Amino acid sequence: MGHLLGYPICCCQKIAVVGEMYIDEWEALFVKKTHFEGRYKIINPKGYREGYSLISHIPCSPNCEPSLNIAQKALSIIMLNKYNKYFDKWNYWTNAAID
Ligand SMILES: [Zn+2]
């Protein structure tokens, strides 16, 4: 399913190991236990349930490059539209100190 949605192969393979039926539990544990540093802060899926995550999948690791590429593309679109009211949901990312 992840392949159809354009998720990175490495992340799809990780979920295949975890098991599709345990995605929610895995996501909760992953967000709680994983520290995202530096530029990888933008692949933290912690806003997934609230709909403001920059990626719509769970990254395979806290330094997944394909996930970072997706998040950077999403962030660039959000930054271009930061004053558009329809992008308010993602203000977390435009206001956050992201290095
Ligand atoms: Zn990955």
Task: Please write the tens of the pLDDT for every residue from 77-98.
Answer: 999 998 999 988 888 888 665 5
Query: Residue 98 region, left (φ>0) first, then alpha (ψ -120 to 50), else beta?
Result: beta
Give the domain extent around 76.
9-95
Please check whether residue 3 lies inside any domain of the structure.
no
Establish if 2 belongs to a structural domain.
no
Q: How far is the CA of 16 from the centre of ligand 1 (A)?
A: 12
> pLDDT tens, 43-81?
998 888 788 899 999 999 999 999 999 999 999 999 999
4 in any annotated domain: no
Structurally, the chain folds into a number of domains equal to: 1
60 CA → ligand 1 middle, Å: 4
In a domain, 56, yes or no: yes
Residue 81 lies in a domain: yes
What is the dihedral sign for C-alpha 95, 25, 30, 73? Answer: negative
Please report whether residue 1 resides in a domain. Answer: no
Residue 84 lies in a domain: yes
